[in-house]
Chain A
Amino acid sequence: MDTQTLIYIFVGLSFSLYIGIAIWSRAGSTKEFYVAGGGVNPVVNGMATAADWMSAASFISMAGIIAFSGYDGSVYLMGWTGGYVMLALLLAPYLRKFGQFTVPDFIGTRYYSKTARVVAVICLIFISFTYIAGQMRGVGIVFSRFLDVPITMGVIIGMAIVFFYAVLGGMKGITYTQVAQYCVLIFAYMVPAFFISFLVTGNPIPQLGLGSTVNDGSGLYVLQKLDLVLQDMGFGAYTDGSKSMIDVFCITAALMVGTAGLPHVIVRFFTVPKASDARKSAGWALIFIALLYTTAPAVGAFARINFIETVDQTEYAKAPAWFKNWESNDLIAWTDKNGDGKMEYRSGNAFAGSPEFTGETGASGERLIANTVNPDSENEVYVDRDIMVLANPEIANLPGWVIALVAAGGLAAALSTAAGLLLVISSSISHDLLKSTFRPQITEKGELLAARIAATAAIIVAGYLGIYPPGWVAQVVAFAFGLAAASLFPAIFMGIFSKSMNKEGAIAGMVSGLVFTFSYIAYFKLIAPDANVAANWLLGISPEGIGVIGMIINFAIAIAVSKMTDSPPVEVRKLIDSIRVPRGAGDAATH
């Protein structure tokens, strides 16, 4: 059977599985829609959290980013896992004990204020929409490369699938489809990783392979060889980064705290039966995540070695099929600067910007580009980092079914995260804005209908953003973390650990953290992108890491304002006492 047929079969089977689960687990009440009835087993919830968490960015992009940035990629590895320690220790068990449906629920009740609730909803919608557009785009890329349909069609198919199980099943449907999606995605990630680790080092376990010697008789360790080869080609050493220490520190911190403040992750811990289950569940979630996250650096390093060996100094006419496939998808380009027909891969940009193809072919049959060639570098190859995981099985000459598996895995990763995000957007609208703020008289049935309508609307907006990504979307996706770190995390943290934090302080803190972080990012990414260099940054911190400063501002302003205003009422202090002890969580979930 050829690879294309296998891809159709694998993707088709995985999609029918998701739809089957959605029909089986339809939601009948708002409690089932928002928190899957609150009775999900902690291990199952951990698995669903892992799928919810690992997005197209984790599955498709992360190993590619590590492959091309070496040590600097560590910010994602530590940042996107260390946040779970904060979740398990500082937030999840208390939020579960509080026992309502959404993050704004907690903020609105703890700070006895509708304004605080609405501010939290605004932060949540802002964070979730910047995140979701990237997921739909990921769906589009996988479809266009592997299923040979235009990106627009791919996004629409993805929207239809998510619509089916998110709108019908709510959190209940999403939880069980995410479990299935985790299994698909982790299998799809590990199988090629085992193969490639075995091919490169002779050790099939990627985590050990990365610390082993290369299988080429040289006796060099993988990382030693990468350092040597890359330095020969004019790159920095793989195990050295190019970012400054303060920037690495701040980006890692912003990603960690942001992870702990992301509403679609927090809400998953509302679905387990008890407060102690929330801790256990966070531990299981991190095990399931760590499996992929400790594999990714190995996949990245092996991919870089394979890429260099198959591309550099190879004649274009003899280039492998995957090279030309990705070239025809605009994600690879080659320009023959020295006219020798061979591809030189060196440090530096081959040309300015991303490739603009002229539609003509050159002497060796390559697609010609209209970009200005960069005369300062001998590099002739442009490669989009996002292709590394998807192209890896082809680069390593793995069988067709592995390629098909990776296609299904990439879709599972993007769809599961998109569904989780859609759910928090829709429940914040139907529950926090309608039920709790503007239309308290709404019936249970009416609220459930409103939640479904809101989910539908959110899917349409997300799909639109996926089909017509405004220039800033891709840029801003990573900043969802900075915004979450600077706005929601401090409000939740102080809500649990401080009895004196009041509504004035929390609102002032959230607003100032969000405004500061958003302005800094907007200035360097949208208003003055040319000024986005280390010399202009505040304390040398890039926009990716600025959320940490936003968080400190949030804490400082909140504490200062709370000292000048009235302390919270007695009922609120009683509420804090009750969320701090685990006993009695079962009852708290009923409205």
Chain B
Amino acid sequence: MTDNDPSVAEPNDSSNAGGPETDTETNSNEKAYWSENIRLLWTLMAIWFVVSFGAGILFRDFLDQFSLGGYPLGFWFAQQGSIYVFVLLIFYYTWKMKKIERKYDLDD
């Protein structure tokens, strides 16, 4: 969501505040994994926002000048297109995360 305070989602935020960490090597590996995950999350959530709230609501009137078959384009995004993109986003994330997890040897 756009209205979340970005500092909340910041992974490293105060994580070292409470006492010494024991296993620093695993830790830096996990941190790198986590920040790569966060970057991917922000990118995909941005697409999620653009196809639904953007194309389907905020810029609908503009997009409605164009059409896709008998659908005005903005209306198509609101009632069809956004849903197709949602499905693709989840499967892309699933596939990409599996790769990232293997890279850091953290897969389940």
Contact = CB atoms under 8 A, between A and B. Distances in A.
| A and B held together in a complex | yes
A455 B106 CA distance: 39
A555 interface: yes
B50 to A, nearest CB: 12
A494 interface: yes
Interface residues of B, number: 54
Given A89-B44, A494-B8, A581-B30, A293 B83 contact: yes
Given A276-B101, A279-B90, A211 B84 contact: no
Interface in A486-505: 493-494, 497-501
A239 B80 CA distance: 13
Interface string B26-58: 000010011001000100110010001100111
Contacts of B9: 497-498
Interface of A is mostly: helix
Given A221-B69, A498-B13, A499-B13, A74 B4 contact: no
Interface stretch (A48-56, A80-88, A309-317): A80-88
Interface in B38-91: 41, 44-45, 48, 52-53, 56-58, 64, 68-72, 75-76, 78-80, 82-84, 86-87, 89-91
B87 A249 contact: no
A500 B11 CA distance: 10
A167 interface: no
Contacts of A392: none
Interface of B: 1, 3-5, 7-9, 11, 13-15, 17-19, 30, 33-34, 37, 41, 44-45, 48, 52-53, 56-58, 64, 68-72, 75-76, 78-80, 82-84, 86-87, 89-91, 93-94, 97-98, 101, 106-108
A71 B78 contact: yes
A286 interface: yes
A223 B19 contact: no
Given A276-B101, A294-B84, A582-B101, A498 B8 contact: yes
Chain A, interface residues (CB within 8 Å), range = 35 or more
Nearest to A585: B108
Interface of A: 66, 71, 73-74, 77-78, 81-82, 84-86, 88-90, 93, 207-208, 210-213, 221-224, 239, 245, 248-249, 252-253, 256-257, 274-276, 279-280, 282-283, 286-287, 290, 293-294, 297, 493-494, 497-501, 548, 551-552, 555-556, 559, 567, 569-570, 573, 577, 580-586
A579 to B, nearest CB: 11
Nearest to A223: B70
Contact of B90 (A283, A499, A548): A283
13 contacts: A86-B48, A239-B64, A249-B53, A252-B57, A253-B1, A279-B93, A294-B79, A297-B79, A497-B9, A555-B4, A573-B15, A580-B37, A581-B34
Contacts of A555: 3-5, 8
Q: What 4 A-B pairs have minimum CB-CB distances, sorted nearest first? A: A221-B70, A211-B69, A74-B78, A283-B90
B71 A223 contact: yes
Given A210-B71, A583-B106, A559 B3 contact: no
Contacts of A78: 52, 56, 78, 82-83
Given A89-B90, A252-B56, A283-B90, 19 more contacts: A71-B78, A78-B83, A85-B89, A86-B48, A89-B45, A89-B93, A210-B70, A211-B71, A252-B52, A275-B108, A286-B90, A293-B83, A499-B13, A500-B14, A559-B7, A570-B18, A577-B15, A577-B30, A580-B37
Contacts of B86: 81-82, 84-85, 286, 290
A212 B69 contact: yes
Nearest to B80: A294
